[in-house]
Chains A and B, each alone.
Chain A
Amino acid sequence: EVQLVESGGGLVQPGGSLRLSCAASGFTFSNNWMSWFRQAPGKGLEWVANIKQDGSDKPYLDSVKGRFTISRDNTKNSLYLQMNSLRGEDTAVYYCARLVGTRSRDAFDIWGQGTMVTVSS
């Protein structure tokens, strides 16, 4: 079964750090771009970051640039999001997702169940 499972969420104080993980199974992880999205409580979806198959390209949402780092370990079929200098506005459910397809025919077809990050004192 093709699956993504996130972990690592929790309660953290403003200015703190957290590392999210996303374990992939059921497909060849190294073949796909991967992404992180988030959804603040009661709000819409927001794209956070992407990472190319070999990790060589990592675009970010401006509001997280310099604070968040996306990475992957293809030997462990895992995606990560290191979050530093966390702010209240980073409070959200964080989802990892797989990007499939080719340019102009691509989409996020598999999503994890999400992990909640709460930034509060």
Chain B
Amino acid sequence: AIQMTQSPSSLSASVGDRVTITCRASQDIRNDLGWYQQKPGTAPKLLIFAASSLQSGVPSRFSGSGSGTDFTLTISSLQPEDFATYYCLQDYNYPFTFGGGTKVEIK
């Protein structure tokens, strides 16, 4: 199975900060990667698909980049509603696998 290594596992940041989260795949997954946001007690929400395509309705402060094995989710200016846990997911092949998650907390 493809392993997705996500870092950091947690971070503290202030409103207005630029935040970067990375995911590294154990093999080439082309651009078959999505980013999801999850708030406590709720279902995941799709932010980015195909590594860099912004899902409709998601604020433009979210962006994704990368291909092959290295991927990045960037929040250009952190907003109060962005405090959540973020996961990457590869759907290049089965079993689909998630990164371990990054919890973004208020500094």
**Chain A residues close to B by CB (< 8 Å):** 37, 44-47, 50, 59, 61-62, 95, 101, 104-109, 111-114
**Main DSSP-derived SS at the B contact region:** loop
**Chain B residues close to A by CB (< 8 Å):** 1, 30-32, 34, 36, 38, 42-46, 49-50, 53, 55, 87, 89, 91, 94-101
Given A44-B87, A46-B98: A109 and B43 interface contact (C-beta under 8 Å)? no
Are B31 and A104 in contact, with the CB atoms below 8 A? yes
A44 to B53, CA, bound (A): 23
Please give me the 3 A-B residue pairs with the lowest Cβ-Cβ distance, nearest first: A107-B49, A111-B43, A47-B96
- By a CB distance below 8 angstroms, the chain A residues around B87 are 44-45
Query: Known pairs A45-B36, A105-B53, A114-B43. 8 more at Cβ < 8 A?
Result: A44-B87, A44-B98, A104-B50, A105-B50, A106-B50, A107-B55, A111-B45, A113-B43
Tell me how many residue pairs across A and B have CB atoms closer than 8 Å.
Answer: 61
- By a CB distance below 8 angstroms, the chain A residues around B94 are 50, 59
Of A61, A104, A109, the contact of B95 (CB 8 Å cutoff):
A61
- By a CB distance below 8 angstroms, the chain A residues around B49 are 101, 105-107, 109
A61 to B97, CA, bound (A): 10
A111 to B98, CA, bound (A): 16
Given A101-B49, A104-B32, A105-B53: A45 and B44 interface contact (C-beta under 8 Å)? yes
Are A107 and B34 in contact, with the CB atoms below 8 A? yes
- By a CB distance below 8 angstroms, the chain B residues around A59 are 94-95
- By a CB distance below 8 angstroms, the chain B residues around A104 are 30-32, 50
Given A104-B50, A107-B46: A47 and B97 interface contact (C-beta under 8 Å)? yes
